[in-house]
Each structure stands twice: as C-alpha cells, then as structure tokens.
Amino acid sequence: MTQSTQTSSQTPTSSPKLWKFHGGIHLPDEKALSNQGPVVEAKLPTQLVIPLAQHIGAPARPCVQPGERVFKGQMIGEPQGYVSAPVHASSSGVVRAIEPHAMPHPSGLPAPCVIIDTDGEDAWAPDRPEPVADFQSLDAEALRARIRMAGIVGLGGASFPSSVKLNPGQDQPIDTLVLNGAECEPYITCDDLLMRERASEVVTGARILLHLLGTGRVLIGIEDNKPEAIAAMRQAVAEQQAQTPAQLEVVEIPTLYPSGGEKQLIRILTGREVPTHGIPAQIGVVCQNVATVAAVADAVLRGQPLIERYVTVTGRGIAQPGNFRVRVGTLASELIAASGGYSGELAKLIAGGPMMGMTLQGDAVPITKAMNCLLALTPAESPDPGPAMPCIRCGQCAQVCPTSLLPQQMYWHARAKDLDKVQDYNLFDCIECGCCAHVCPAHIPLVQYYRYAKNESWAREREKQASEHAKRRHEAREARLERLERERKAKLRKKKEAITPKTKAAPGQSAAVGGAEQSSVSSAADTKTDTAKTDTAGSVQ
C-alpha cells in the first residue's frame, strides 16, 4: 500500500501512465467545421421556453405564476427531492404561460415548460446569491447547497444533478477528481472552445471541487486532437498550481472514440474500473465534465446559476457552423437561424453527436442544460444504412466494444426476446456508444435492439414488482381474514364455554342470551347456526 502510494507520487507529471480500454474506433472527427472561430454570444430571444425537467430525477415544480415578472437568475422551478435540480429564468421578463411544449426528446412528446416573454433589460434578480471571492471560506455542505441551488447538472449530456454526484458520503473517500474534456464525439467542439476561452474558470472550478471533496488530485483528460485547448488548460493550471496543495494535471489522451465515456476516461487516466452497476465513487473517483466545473465556478464566484451554456451548431447541413453562448430556453430554430440557417438537403437534425445523439422531429425545441450540440447532417454525411441484413457473426462489434461485451450474442438473444439471456451477456453494462452498430457490415441497428431489451427488462421488472406487491397484498389480506376468523372462533368458543354452564344451570334464560349473542355477531352465517343450535338445545331442554 505504502509502496503504491510512493510510486504514484513519483510518477513524472509530464508523461503520466495511461491505460487502455478495450476496443474503440477511430472516426473522422469533423471538429474543424465548427472550431475555427470564437464562441459567439447568441442574441437574447424574445421568448424563452424553459423546461422544468432538464435533469435526471424529479422534474422541478414551478414556483412562478403566469403574468408574474421574473428576473434573470430567479428560480422559477423548485427542486423536488434529493435527486432533482431547480431551473432559473435565463433573462428578465414576464411569464406568459406554464404549459407543455415540444422537447428535445426522441419521443417528441411535449413536457411542461415555463414560457417567458423577455423584456430585453436582462435585469438580474435582486436576491441572487452573493458572489464569494474566497471559496475556501465555505465548507463542503455550503458549497454543495450553492451548487444545488444554482441548478447545476452534468453538462456533458447526462444531466445528472451535480450536487448528488459531489456527495459520495463518508464511507467512500475520493482520492481523484477526473475532469472530462475528452469530447470524443465527432463534430462537437463546445468543450474544446470552452477550455480555450475559459480555461481559468475550469481550473478554478476544479479547485472548488477539490476543496469540497477533500481530494488531492485532479486529472484533466483531453483528447490530443485539441492542442489549443490542451495548451490553454496547461497554462491555466500553471497559473493556479501555486494556490493549491493539490496536484493539478492536464493529461493528453489519444483520440479514440469513446474515450469521453465516463467509465472509459476513468480507466484511461487511473487504470481503475467502475464496478458493474456501480458508481465511480466506489473506486475513489468523481468525474465531472469541464463545462460543469466552469458552471460551478460561476455559481460560487459570481453567484450565477446555470442559465447559459456553450452549444455547437454544426454539420454540413448548416450554412455557417460555429459555437454559441446560449441562454437555456432559447429555441433551437433561433440558433440555427443565427448560423445562417440550413444549407441544402437535410437528412437528420440531431441533438448531440452523430454517435449517441437523438434525432429531432423539428427545430422548435428549447436548448436545455444538457444540449451540447445541434447537428444538421446531409444525406452524404448520414446516408440511410439501408435494410439490415442477417448477422454474419463476424465479430467486428465485439472487437470495438469499449466494455468488452459480445454485441453479436446480445443481438441474437434480444432479437429472440430472450431477456434473461441478454442480461446474462451483461446488457446493462452497455453504454450505448454505438461503436458496434457503426462497424456492423450487416447494418443492423444494434443499439436500438439493446435499448429495446433494456426497456423491456425494466418494464418486466416493474411488472414483476407490481405483481409481487399485489401478491403480498393478497397474502396479507388472506392472513388477516384468517386471523380474524380464528379470533372470532376463539371468542365464540369462550362465549360458548361461558354459556354452556349457564344453560345447564338456568335453561329458561338461554334464549335471551342466545338472542343477544346473535345480534352481536349477526354477520357470520355459521355463528347463526351455532347460536341456533344453542337455542334449539336450550328450547329442547
């Protein structure tokens, strides 16, 4: 143990050891389409559509009324429960309505949103949290509360509430904070630009999290196709290293999709593997996206909640691809118009990247906290793969799977709807990165099969739980009825025992006693018979 600590401290900072994950694929990165210019401040829209559910967990509950005037940074949706996040007004204006609106979600179903007519003043809420220049004066609890109330969620796309992730508990000591700046999906460059332009905030945010977690080491993983970002981050680290005893380290990692997957990046940087069905905290790691960390710095140092983010608008279906600083709630259509609109024929509009993003049915959807990229692909970039052919079991999929699964076997059983078998092949370790489907020569939409199998498994699990619940209720009811019956019989026996000597002693009174008893237990038929018997017995005698 001592020895291993020693070795790790002796590791030279310039060339840290990198680990490999299984598989992965090299993709044309297409980053140059959108990372040539600086980030452009998007125009303040006349209307903001702010969804109440922009995170994993319970949706926020609206805390404003239609017609109410709201300010920039004012909380308009309260978190509901521990795993939840508040939402804030991205600018000042008047709440027009709280109603369902189309969402960037594959279902295309509308979800509740707060719709704000902006007034153009962009006035800050008077009660916004005080900026804290010296974050070290705050303890972990206060910092977590601030991060929670700033509505910060994972900005890499998962949108899990950060305050929850930053609260691993006493029993899980964290020794490493991993910052995810890999941005391995092709086309997307918003983290690249963020690291170039806001490197100092990212590093400050990292120091805040180090303070919060009591951790001694930050590893910032960036793919080597972003030399400018790496240089900027290295410089920011050099400037701030003196202010912290912790070890800050920018690690250049090979460009290989999906290096930016949380599990893959942790493996690359630390050599540790997140246990199956587990979380990184179990192996002493907390992983955060670089944009999330910059948002933490904004929340603590400037008292600014999460009301804007960097969004890449790209693809050859966009006239002038680039990056924008966008208010949460701006409609995607406005952003696309700001990029010069669509150019030519469009095959797909995607929220996210080409490998894991979801297709949108239209662009009248709001930019959410989780949306890192709007990708308009031409038919040449995203050709129709054509009908799927039978699997020839070539095993290309298994060769590229970053979790060492056997996609061909999972497909086989998912197709046969044999959910137990798919789970035996570790379906739930699948991160849906799409490598398998990408290389499949038969063009089988493998990820779709795994999503289907996961959803079916969850549905079956819910059904099982529901039926189990019903069974338990039924059994409890049966037991209760049985118990009542036993008690009643026991009571009856007692009374009978009490009556019998009396009947012997005074037969004339038995009818009256029997009558009284009959009224007290009139509901049970057999009781009546018993009583009747007693009566008869009494009368005969």
- Cβ burial of 324 (10 Å; 0-12, 13-18, 19+) is buried
Both tokens of 442, joined, read 């038969």
Residues that bind other proteins (CB under 8 A): 21-22, 27, 106, 108, 186, 263, 267, 273-276, 278, 342, 346-350, 352, 354-363, 377, 381-385, 387, 389-396, 398-399, 402-406, 408-409, 425-426, 429, 432, 434, 437-443, 445, 447-448, 451
Of residues 109 and 133, the one with the C-beta less far from other proteins: 109
Distance CA 225, CA 181 (A): 11
Q: CA of 7: how far to CAs of 2, 11, 256, 416, 529, in Å?
A: 9, 6, 28, 50, 88
Of residues 304 and 396, the one with the C-beta less far from other proteins: 396
Q: What are the φ/ψ torsions at residue 417 (nearest 5 degrees)?
A: 55, 30
Smallest separation (angstroms) from other proteins to the CB of 382: 5
User: What DSSP assignment string belongs to 117-154?
Assistant: EE-S--PBPTTPPPP-S-GGGS-HHHHHHHHHHTT-B-
Smallest separation (angstroms) from other proteins to the CB of 443: 5
Of residues 249 and 381, the one with the C-beta less far from other proteins: 381
Q: Is the peptide bond before 112 cis (omega within 30 degrees of 0)?
A: no
Packing angle, helices 407-415 and 446-505, rounded to 10: 50
Q: CA of 12: how far to CAs of 16, 17, 246, in Å?
A: 6, 9, 15
Of residues 80 and 426, the one with the C-beta less far from other proteins: 426
Packing angle, helices 290-301 and 190-197, rounded to 10: 50
Of residues 227 and 383, the one with the C-beta less far from other proteins: 383
Smallest separation (angstroms) from other proteins to the CB of 284: 15
Smallest separation (angstroms) from other proteins to the CB of 269: 15
Of residues 88 and 165, the one with the C-beta less far from other proteins: 165
Of residues 304 and 378, the one with the C-beta less far from other proteins: 378
Number of helices followed by number of strands (H, E) in the chain: 16, 17
Smallest separation (angstroms) from other proteins to the CB of 194: 23
Of residues 165 and 438, the one with the C-beta less far from other proteins: 438
Distance CA 401, CA 484 (A): 60
Of residues 145 and 406, the one with the C-beta less far from other proteins: 406
Please report the beta strands in 201-356, taking only residues with DSSP state E, as ranges in sequence order.
217-223, 247-253, 285-289, 308-314, 322-327, 348-351
Smallest separation (angstroms) from other proteins to the CB of 12: 28
Of residues 108 and 131, the one with the C-beta less far from other proteins: 108
Residues 6+ positions from 510 with CB-CB distance below 8 Å: 499, 502, 503, 534, 535, 537, 538, 539, 541
Question: In which element (H, E) is residue 376 found?
Answer: strand 373-377
Query: CB count, 10 Å around CB of 81?
Result: 7
Smallest separation (angstroms) from other proteins to the CB of 98: 28
CA-derived radius of gyration, the chain:
32
